[in-house]
Amino acid sequence: MRPLGSRNPLVVGFVGTALLVVTLLAVVVLPRVPTFSSDRSYSANFAQAAGLSSGDEVRVAGIPEGTVTGVHLDRDVIRVDFTLPKGVHVVSETTASIEVATLLGTKYVELTPTGPGELSTSAPIPVSRTKVPFDLADVTNGLSTTVGGLDIPTLRAALRTVSTTFAHTPKATRDLLRGISGISKVLVSRQSQLRELLASSRDVTATLVSQRHTLDALFTDADAVLATLHRRRTIIHSLLVDASSLGSQLTRLVNHNAATLGPLIERLNVVTTLLHKDDHVLGRAIDLLAPASRGLTNATGDGPYIDINLPYLLVPDNLLCGFSLAPDCR
């Protein structure tokens, strides 16, 4: 075979690119082909989506098994597509429901297997065998619309008529009607505030729904931190006990040796003062110690004896220089 460097680079680049494209297609496309995929695709029709989205869980008898792959409008129903592993047996009369996973509105599809046979992959589960959950946002919106559509003057007049009609009833009944009248007055006086409250609650609900994934992650991280603290509780408790014991022992040591520690600290203060006073002298001594120690090392480093250089040992250097006894001395 010829070396790769001797071949036409255009041909080599074209063949390499073609092989890369074929490999990517095989990796991406083949798992989606039913023959090669390890999952089976199913679908179910619901009356409404109820906040379900792609990527949510599909549980079979409470066990997470599959994933929602799509939520689409199919004429007058919502078609939810999902996949399940081939090893999961789903029978023909299986029912499906959209359930609430968390208080923040995360949803999942719950499958309840029932009946004989195998669930068809081509025909969706009909609406008659599916159900959707209670939706707090819809109830809030409906309450806001209902309250906003009330005819407050008519309601107040009706309550006043009832109160007049039952004026001669027992005191308990009159008190009850008086309370109802007071409620109507409060509703009339606080109508704008109630509208604002309901609108704010709707905004808060929408915000929580849009941020449910972030809040789920926050709660999950908080659970992990609490679990770690719970696992390390024994170690932290032992550390606190040891720290408390060390503090008690140090306190007893100081109290027991107070008579000795006092004079010792005073002497240390005196020594520190002297060292600070003679700091420049000590620094100069340290500077001169280096050449002196080097000269001593040179004099004693040749053997078990000391080298002596005369007359420099006996006559000071300045005298030798002054009387010109030392050559080349300045």
DSSP string, 84-140: EETTS---TT-EEEEEE-STT--EEEEEE--SSS---SSSPBPGGGEE----HHHHH
Q: Which long-range contacts (CB under 8 A, 24 or more apart) does 287-291 make?
A: none
Asked whether residue 260 carries a pLDDT value surpassing 70, the answer given is: yes
- What pLDDT does 46 receive? 92
- What pLDDT does 184 receive? 74
Could you count the other beta carbons within 10 Å of the beta carbon of residue 190? 12
Asked if residues 67 and 118 have their Cβ atoms less than 8 Å apart, the reply is no
Higher confidence at residue 19 or residue 218?
A: 19
- What pLDDT does 141 receive? 61
Rounded to an integer, the average pLDDT of 122-149 is 72
Could you count the other beta carbons within 10 Å of the beta carbon of residue 96? 23
Asked whether residue 137 carries a pLDDT value surpassing 60, the answer given is: no
pLDDT, tens digit (0-9, with 9 covering 90-100), for 43-99: 999 988 888 888 899 999 888 889 999 999 888 899 999 998 887 878 888 899 998
Strands (E), the chain: 39-46, 57-60, 63-74, 77-85, 95-100, 107-112, 130-131
Could you count the other beta carbons within 10 Å of the beta carbon of residue 79? 17
Rounded to an integer, the average pLDDT of 280-305 is 80
The two structure tokens encoding residue 164: 């007049």
Helix (H, G, I), strand (E, B) or coil at 239: helix
The two structure tokens encoding residue 79: 């078609």
φ, ψ at 173 (rounded to 5°): -65, -40
The Cα–Cα gap between 227 and 229 comes to 5
Rounded to an integer, the average pLDDT of 243-254 is 86
The Cα–Cα gap between 246 and 238 comes to 12
The Cα–Cα gap between 299 and 304 comes to 10
Asked whether residue 138 carries a pLDDT value surpassing 60, the answer given is: no
- What pLDDT does 5 receive? 63
- What pLDDT does 142 receive? 60
Asked if residues 76 and 48 have their Cβ atoms less than 8 Å apart, the reply is no
- 247-to-235, 242, 253, 254, 256 alpha-carbon distances in Å: 18, 9, 10, 11, 14
pLDDT, tens digit (0-9, with 9 covering 90-100), for 153-211: 777 777 777 667 666 666 666 677 677 777 777 777 777 787 788 888 888 887 877 77
Q: Give the angle subtended at the CA of 191 by the CAs of 187 and 193, to the nearest 5°.
A: 115
251-265 b/e (C-beta count within 10 Å ≥ 16 → b): eeeeeeeeeeeeeee
- What pLDDT does 191 receive? 75
Q: How far apart are the first and last CA of the chain?
A: 84
